[in-house]
Amino acid sequence: MNTDFDYCPKCGCHDFAASSEKSRRCKRCGFEFFLNASAAYVALITNSQGQLLVVRRRKEPAIGTLDLPGGFADAGETAEEGIAREVREETGLTVVSAKYLFSKPNIYVYSGMKIPTLDMFFQCEVEQGAEPKAMDDAAECMWIAIDELDPTLFGLSSISEGIKKIKTIF
């Protein structure tokens, strides 16, 4: 099991070794840690011209590259609540409906740690007439025609792969 933890997160013991393909167990206290994927959301928002809302990343990882609005799940929220919260935080837009489309696995490197994620892509409708504005993790918001999207300009591998799939769906 690949993990960045060398010590047991419960008791601090260094004897924290692989127990299975997916876990590590502490030989001192018995705590077993499973490295499960973190849930993350990705919003696909189109306008009346069939363009997709794209943001530019304000922060690492992949600062300055293109991205789609989204982010990590918060404990206690549904996926629909989470995607609406992330869209609001990054663009100021209010999601009125969200429909799950597909998912992509990813490795998100944050503070030097490799965090496995499962990125869930949602087709979102937002309140009509509202214009996006860059907020939170977004440095810029832009509308790009789907047939003009270049997956290589998206800094996260799951988003890049998602863009390839989107081009076959829309």
User: Dihedral of the CA atoms 72, 100, 56, 76 (nearest 10)?
Assistant: -20
Claim to verify: residue 17 and residue 48 sit in the same structural domain = no
Tokens representing 163 are 């863009």
Claim to verify: residue 49 and residue 101 sit in the same structural domain = yes
Q: How much is the pLDDT for 124?
A: 98
Q: How much is the pLDDT for 2?
A: 62
Claim to verify: residue 109 and residue 123 sit in the same structural domain = yes
Range of the domain at 21: 1-35
Each residue of 16-37: pLDDT tens digit? 999 999 999 999 999 999 989 9
pTM score of the predicted model: 0.91
Measured in degrees and rounded to the nearest 5, phi and psi for residue 86 equal -65, -40
Q: Tell me how far CA of residue 109 lies from CA of 3, 116, 161, in angstroms.
A: 12, 9, 17
Q: How much is the pLDDT for 1?
A: 58
Claim to verify: residue 97 and residue 120 sit in the same structural domain = yes
Count of domains forming the chain: 2
38, 71 Cβ separation under 8 angstroms: no
**From the DSSP assignment, how many helices (H) and strands (E) are in the chain?**
2, 10
Question: Which pLDDT band holds residue 58 (cuts at 50, 70, 90)?
Answer: very high
Question: Which pLDDT band holds residue 6 (cuts at 50, 70, 90)?
Answer: confident
42, 123 Cβ separation under 8 angstroms: no
Claim to verify: residue 44 and residue 30 sit in the same structural domain = no
Q: Which helix (H) or strand (E) holds 86?
A: helix 79-91
Here the CATH number for the domain that contains residue 111 is 3.90.79.10
Claim to verify: residue 142 and residue 69 sit in the same structural domain = yes
